[in-house]
Amino acid sequence: MTKLHELFDQQGQSPWIDNLKRAFLTSGRLAELVGQGVRGVTSNPTIFAKAIEGGDDYDDQYRGLTEKMSVDEAYWELVIDDIINALGVLRPLYDSSGGTDGFVSLEVAPALAHDTDASIEAARTLHSRIDSPNLFVKIPGTAEGVPAIRQMISEGRNINVTLIFSLERYGEVIEAYLSGLEELVTTKGADLSRVASVASFFVSRVDTEVDRRLEAVAEQLGGSRAERALALRGKAAVAQAKLAYRIYQERFSGARWEALAAKGAHVQRPLWASTSTKNPQYADLAYVNSLIGPNTVNTMPDATLDDFLDHGVVARTVDKTASEAQKVLDELGELGVDMADVAHTLEDEGVAAFAKSFDELLQRLSDKANSLSADK
């Protein structure tokens, strides 16, 4: 029994790992992690870029693929192979949990983040190619992504909504899930218990951006207001996440939700993402220990997962001090920190960072294809 087991058994939070690479699969490491209490896997273009560029694990397969397809097509073959193998490792957990855990997430191409129709088509393609009940296709929670998410849910497809940075957008994502389920059951009479979704609320990046703005405010104002601004550093991200959980509790209760639950619907769990600490002055588990509670997921990179196994504190915290969380956001507003603008900035940066990783990886894969061809 590890602290990850305790996290789920005692508090109802599912610990996932935010990493996937070929070596995890060939060495049996992913199976070991599942044995330690990991209940799901998330990936993104940056993670796959590091995996593919980080060694020669993919070279033999890639060499054969480039002889018969484009670099872009070869990339998807490499990634989908990893996803399928990971899905196999997690499938027993998916079955034993009644379809509530054991998921592996794969993101649509980052360039589609602002294209609703293309996101829908890409998500359909990935679900069709992989065809596994424990696959989550990730669609960014952009303004254009929200209607794509609703459409996918209405088709009975599992979706991980990624890159959520604001309470307003989170509310829109929940509405997309609920209305998608309503359409699914109304038009198709489908079994809603076969549909799952998580809403990935990004955490640490919020503090990085808000802290930067608070320091600028302090420099501009000086005096007691500067002290007040600096005292708020490191508080915005957890405060906003706690308020997101309150929204979750409100929206997944009452007559509308109960009607869907009666037809087998699962709640759309909040998933805390970007939970490694970016500021070395903050506690290593600042975004884990503070956000523990039922029907949530925390996806952690390797180091954060190891830290929690070593010295994490298993206690319900996510819905404690919600009134204080609101005060933090109110104070930020009084100091001129616009959380809507923070979210807009972070969303743009998040989409751009994934797109950059994806494009750079394709360029390196193209260079590698030329190198492998020259070595023949």
Range 221-241 burial, b when 16+ CB lie within 10 A, else e: eeeeebebbeebbbbbbbbbb
Partners of 104 in the β-ladder = 41, 135
Q: Which of 138, 235, 242, 368 is catalytic?
A: 138
**Percent of the chain with pLDDT strictly greater than 70:** 99
Q: Tell which residue, 362, 248, 360, 367, has the closest CA to residue 296.
A: 248
Q: Quick check: is 185 in a domain?
A: yes
The domain spanning residue 160 has which CATH number?
3.20.20.70
Residue 361: pLDDT band by 50, 70, 90 thresholds? confident
Residue 374: pLDDT band by 50, 70, 90 thresholds? low
Q: Quick check: is 26 in a domain?
A: yes
Q: Quick check: is 257 in a domain?
A: yes
Domain count of the chain?
A: 1
Please give the average per-residue pLDDT across 333-356, as a whole number: 96
Q: Provide the pLDDT for residue 11.
A: 99
Q: Quick check: is 16 in a domain?
A: yes
Q: Quick check: is 219 in a domain?
A: no
- Whether 138 is catalytic is yes
Please state, in angstroms and rounded to a whole number, the distance separating the CA atoms of residues 55 and 34.
24
Q: Residue 375: pLDDT above 90?
A: no
Q: Quick check: is 30 in a domain?
A: yes
Q: Greatest CA span in the chain, whole angstroms?
A: 69
Q: Quick check: is 232 in a domain?
A: no
Q: Quick check: is 226 in a domain?
A: no
Q: Which residue has the higher pLDDT, 323 or 105?
A: 105
Supply the range of the domain harboring residue 85.
Answer: 3-206+248-326+346-374
Q: Provide the pLDDT for residue 22.
A: 95
Residue 322: pLDDT band by 50, 70, 90 thresholds? confident
Structure confidence by residue, pLDDT tens digits, 184-224 = 999 988 889 999 999 999 999 999 999 999 999 999 988 88
